[in-house]
Structure 1
Amino acid sequence: MVYIVWFSKRCNHGEAMLNKKIERWGLWLGPVIGVGITVFGDLKPGHPEVTHTAGVACWMAVWWMTEAVPLAATALLPVVLFPLLGIMSGQEVAPLYLNHIIFLFVGGFMVALGMQRWNLHRRIALRLLLLFGGCPRCILTGFMLVTAFLSMWISNTATTMMMVPIALAIVVRMEEQGVASGSFGTAVFLGVAYAASIGGSATLVGTPTNLSFVRILSIHFAEVPEISFAMWFAFALPLACVMLVCAWGALCLVFGIRGRGDDIDLSVVRAQYAELGPMSFAEKVVLADFVLLALLWLSRRPIQIGDWTLPGWSQFFESGGLITDGSVAMAMALILFVVPARDGAKSRVMDWQTAGNVPWHIVLLIGGGFALASGFKESGLSLWCAQQLEGMGRLHPLFLVGGLCVMMTFLTELTSNTATAEMFLPVLAALSVAVGLNPLLLMIPATLSCSCAFMLPVATPPNAIVFGTDRISMRDMARVGVGLNLIGAVMITAAIAVVGRVVLGIELGVMPDWAKIQ
């Protein structure tokens, strides 16, 4: 990956050696701890599967946190160890790696790849940037809004890698004109990185952690009402907008970005937009497909607004209850394989070579989290955890949520956000039952907090990419990021208490009927 190459250039020899040592220790420490717990532990007498699952979970946690082996490879451990240790059969484990949530991710990603293949995402970005011309603050606003919007539908890594060269061209042009200082460039690049992470949290397909939450929730609580694309969007979008404003305000304040100044020459953007030429037939097809996909996702289920209900389109089908967001995503992706591109090469809008760029390692990583969550439930480890955590019920729910958000936010500064979510969500499902709270009250804030790592270059790919431009110092990222991490924890806590009550029906201190660990 390009961002890894960029970031590696900034790492000194000491840091590289430290990473190697961590990986080497993690490689042996994971199996030693896992085997030690499995052989010598006895968490629940008469139920060895509880101890065995805990051993596998600890092994995976060490390997995920140290990245001693590739994250996706660690995610495959349940396929081997669960049947071997009598936790689940191979026939039960294998399907967990391919389900409707996985197809939601794959289908959505294929449509995003269609946008990238025909440069539609670049056309959208450049066109929107031209609308925000003027003062430095307007430019920063434009970059952050465009990046956040694209990151809702395209991976935050791909979005950042596309926006950074555009930002670099504009910043260099402004510095040559004498209308911007070096601090403006720092603010723009940090704004792109932060907006990519924030925007991805607003939709289910924006980041793998959101998809992991939905599936792990349904694994632990079979009767939980579906968290649809529209429901998540209604809850997470307002929070993302507030976080985007906070990030923008922090960057303007810290780096002294002016609201007024000389007019900025956007000829670089206009030139890049002109190079794209007129919109091709394939671009129009992908745009129509993308818009229709978003509308179908948002309107599949009934939308409740006060006492008024807007019916969902799935209700008009006799088998509408069987349709999932994953079905919709795959249907719209398949259309792109059928429609001709009319580019003179007898190709289709989407081909399998392009579709092969779906990050299958992320698919395995997500599936590994689902397998681990199922192991927690089937072995009884979730119930055992719930019994051990009952004492935490004395804490006020919002204090518990706030502390959880801070912990998850700073933990993901050093570990993979998806792996971190998949390690903690099964435990939080058990904790919510133990303290008598709605599981959504703990699991959603933990999930969103994994997208709020703003402090270190290693925290997220967008952070690493912008750090690799040599225009941002570790100090610059840290002094803005620490504050944003804490603001994120506060905002997520407030959102789950206020917006969560309206959109998701969450009541503090009230446990819904469906919240039972079997």
Structure 2
Amino acid sequence: MPTGRKFITENPGKSARYALSAIAPFISAYIIFFVELDPNNPAVTNTLAVAVLMALWWITEVIPLAITSLLPIVLFPALGIMNGREVSSTYFNHVIFLFIGGFLVALAIQKWGLHKRIALKILRIIGSSPGRILLGFMFATAFLSMWISNTATAMLMVPILISIITKLEEINGKDLVKHFAVGLLLCIAYSASIGGIATLVGTPPNLSFARIFYIYFPNAPEISFATWFFYAFPISLVLFLVLFGYLYLIFVKRKKNWKSLSKGEILNDYEKLGKKNFEEKVLLIAFAALAFLWFFRADIVIGEVAIPGWSNWFNYPQFFNDGTVAIFVAVVLFMIPSKTQPGTFLMDWKAAEEIPWEIILLFGGGFALASGFKESGLSMWFGHQLEWLSGLHPLVLILCICFLVTFLTEITSNTATVETLLPILAGLAVSIETNPLLFMLPATIAGSLAFMLPVATPPNAIVFGSKRISVIQMAKTGFFLNIIGIILVSIITYYFGTFIFDIAEGAFPEWAQIDN
């Protein structure tokens, strides 16, 4: 979801958002003084009040997301929820450094233009007919967003796409290209989100899940980069195929009298980049090394098959995490001199200043809120209120969770939505004695699968900002994908995710038994 006041002032619901933001503190005050969830533990009620205030301010975005995320530092100590020192420490952890390290590598790739070479290379290989152009941009976007944030990927791909659309308009005329252009723009937005779910670093909700899950269940098996990939990549792949078929039928199949973009024009754009320089070669190696080190850091165990991780070469393999790897590769980039620009390095602090600190603080606020839910007992309180759901089949519960998260994310920040709901789902799972992963995993994925509105995800907003697509066009196309996403995530989680994470139906793992 886009951040900042500028976007809000351009939204038609501006007045309602400002009004809701203004009354949010009064709603929280009412909860504190007139609601009593647990007579023996006022911290439960106070935590709910803070959660409501943060959720409403996150939804409206009148107050910047980062500033709202800092509220627990002040309110948790003031309301007797958590010690100020403890809540402050939740804002920086290994997940945050995983994000920082990954983003530093991504910024280096952007600095030297490697992303453009990758995108154009993919287009050259796949082809230049309408269907192939669609597939090329989808593949390039999805692939890049697995390693670079989906927001950055969309921002990188849209200018490349606009140049291709302009050339198509010159060949075929604007009227003939207009409909196809909408499909291309949507493929960027949707592919960025779909590709992002495949890896832990692809989209912020994935990282939020990794940290919140650890906060609640520190004794649980680690959710490593490889483990997440084995679970999420099949979902990403199936959604990618569905998306291509769907967009092809709507925007490509009925085209007549169409003149394709010549391979020569794509080749010309590629050749303008010149030969691959020293910096791009080193970054390509660093990029591949980072993916390899992430993937094979921890032991990979699938059924009876086990692949030992490289961390076992060290005396204390448990001391390593994915954040360690990301920071290591990022630091190395600051040490390698540039040949194209003597006296500089592959990465410098000027480029590093582009790190989205607002998202980092948003992470921290979500982690602090999750800690508050746990320490106060609010998550368990919610779980007890929802114990009646224990009679439902797990697949039905997963469907309901995915539906709620997907459509809630259409109007709220996907990261904020996931960070608010995951603690509740953790408490629900413990209360009905179900493996928490069965609820928390699909909720996290669903947070990235809102395709209907510009405000749903950052890629949607970036594409909408091209002014070549209307809200109605996005909503009509995205509704079907929302429903398909909900169904696919639920089914794959229930039938495949249970195998990857060794989830036995009806069995409540020992590591999930937290104190009430």
TM-score normalised by the shorter chain: which range applies? Answer: over 0.9
The 8 Å contact of residues 243 and 488 in structure 1, kept in 2 or not, is answered as yes
Amino acid at match of 1:382: S
Amino acid at match of 1:503: I
Counterparts of 1:115-134 in structure 2, within 5 Å, are 115-134=109-128
Which of 17, 20, 31 in structure 2 is aligned with 1:26?
20
Q: Please identify, of 99-108 and 281-290, the stretch whose mean Cα deviation from structure 2 is larger.
A: 281-290
Structure 1 residues 493 and 464, CA gap change in structure 2 (3 angstroms): same
The 8 Å contact of residues 131 and 252 in structure 2, kept in 1 or not, is answered as no
Deviation at 1:177, TM superposition (A): 2.5
Structure 1 residues 335 and 436, CA gap change in structure 2 (3 angstroms): same
Deviation at 1:178, TM superposition (A): 2.9
SS at match of 2:510: coil
Which of 48, 59, 71 in structure 2 is aligned with 1:54?
48
Residue of structure 2 in register with 1:219 after alignment: 215
Residue of structure 2 in register with 1:208 after alignment: 204
Which of 369, 392, 395 in structure 1 is aligned with 2:389?
392
Residue of structure 2 in register with 1:66 after alignment: 60
Residue of structure 1 in register with 2:464 after alignment: 467
Counterparts of 1:224-239 in structure 2, within 5 Å, are 224-239=220-235
Structure 1 residues 245 and 4, CA gap change in structure 2 (3 angstroms): farther
Residue of structure 2 in register with 1:326 after alignment: 323
Residue of structure 2 in register with 1:245 after alignment: 241
Structure 1 residues 89 and 317, CA gap change in structure 2 (3 angstroms): same
SS at match of 1:373: helix
Residue of structure 1 in register with 2:444 after alignment: 447
Instruction: Give the Cα–Cα distance (whole angstroms) in 2 for the partners of residues 386 and 517 of structure 1.
Output: 12
Structure 1 residues 7 and 215, CA gap change in structure 2 (3 angstroms): closer
Amino acid at match of 2:481: L
SS at match of 1:204: coil
Instruction: Give the Cα–Cα distance (whole angstroms) in 1 for the partners of residues 8 and 206 of structure 2.
Output: 29
Counterparts of 1:350-429 in structure 2, within 5 Å, are 350-429=347-426
Q: Please identify, of 234-243 and 281-290, the stretch whose mean Cα deviation from structure 2 is larger.
A: 281-290
Amino acid at match of 1:203: T
Deviation at 1:172, TM superposition (A): 2.6
Structure 1 residues 507 and 262, CA gap change in structure 2 (3 angstroms): farther
The 8 Å contact of residues 380 and 428 in structure 2, kept in 1 or not, is answered as no
The 8 Å contact of residues 3 and 468 in structure 1, kept in 2 or not, is answered as no
Instruction: Give the Cα–Cα distance (whole angstroms) in 2 for the partners of residues 149 and 256 of structure 1.
Output: 22
Which of 80, 87, 92 in structure 2 is aligned with 1:98?
92
Residue of structure 2 in register with 1:77 after alignment: 71
Deviation at 1:147, TM superposition (A): 0.3
The 8 Å contact of residues 26 and 68 in structure 1, kept in 2 or not, is answered as no
The two structures have a TM-score, normalised by structure 2, of: 0.95
Q: Please identify, of 255-264 and 166-175, the stretch whose mean Cα deviation from structure 2 is larger.
A: 255-264
Residue of structure 1 in register with 2:144 after alignment: 150
Deviation at 1:357, TM superposition (A): 0.8
Matched, 1:88 2:48: no
Amino acid at match of 2:425: L
Q: Which sections of structure 2, spanning at least 5 residues, go unmatched?
A: none
Amino acid at match of 1:300: R
Instruction: Give the Cα–Cα distance (whole angstroms) in 2 for the partners of residues 263 and 89 of structure 1.
Output: 64
Deviation at 1:170, TM superposition (A): 1.8
Q: Please identify, of 483-492 and 23-32, the stretch whose mean Cα deviation from structure 2 is larger.
A: 23-32
The 8 Å contact of residues 151 and 199 in structure 1, kept in 2 or not, is answered as yes
Instruction: Give the Cα–Cα distance (whole angstroms) in 2 for the partners of residues 306 and 381 of structure 1.
Output: 36
Instruction: Give the Cα–Cα distance (whole angstroms) in 2 for the partners of residues 259 and 227 of structure 1.
Output: 46
Instruction: Give the Cα–Cα distance (whole angstroms) in 1 for the partners of residues 462 and 7 of structure 2.
Output: 7
Amino acid at match of 1:283: E
Instruction: Give the Cα–Cα distance (whole angstroms) in 2 for the partners of residues 173 and 237 of structure 1.
Output: 34
Deviation at 1:3, TM superposition (A): 9.9
Amino acid at match of 2:69: A
Residue of structure 1 in register with 2:477 after alignment: 480
Deviation at 1:57, TM superposition (A): 0.9
The count of aligned residue pairs is: 512
Q: Please identify, of 504-513 and 181-190, the stretch whose mean Cα deviation from structure 2 is larger.
A: 504-513
Instruction: Give the Cα–Cα distance (whole angstroms) in 2 for the partners of residues 258 and 5 of structure 1.
Output: 41
SS at match of 1:131: helix
The two structures have a TM-score, normalised by structure 1, of: 0.95
Percent identical pairs in the alignment equals 49
Which of 16, 39, 43 in structure 1 is aligned with 2:37?
43
Instruction: Give the Cα–Cα distance (whole angstroms) in 2 for the partners of residues 136 and 77 of structure 1.
Output: 49
The 8 Å contact of residues 386 and 431 in structure 1, kept in 2 or not, is answered as yes
Instruction: Give the Cα–Cα distance (whole angstroms) in 2 for the partners of residues 297 and 456 of structure 1.
Output: 33
Instruction: Give the Cα–Cα distance (whole angstroms) in 2 for the partners of residues 102 and 345 of structure 1.
Output: 32
Instruction: Give the Cα–Cα distance (whole angstroms) in 2 for the partners of residues 416 and 108 of structure 1.
Output: 21
Structure 1 residues 64 and 344, CA gap change in structure 2 (3 angstroms): closer
Deviation at 1:49, TM superposition (A): 1.2
Q: Please identify, of 154-163 and 266-275, the stretch whose mean Cα deviation from structure 2 is larger.
A: 266-275
Instruction: Give the Cα–Cα distance (whole angstroms) in 2 for the partners of residues 4 and 472 of structure 1.
Output: 22
RMSD, aligned α-carbons:
2.1
Deviation at 1:505, TM superposition (A): 1.3
Q: Deviations over 1:185-219 (max 9, x none)?
A: 11111111100111111111111110101111111
Counterparts of 1:199-348 in structure 2, within 5 Å, are 199-257=195-253, 263-348=260-345
Structure 1 residues 7 and 252, CA gap change in structure 2 (3 angstroms): farther
Instruction: Give the Cα–Cα distance (whole angstroms) in 1 for the partners of residues 323 and 426 of structure 2.
Output: 24
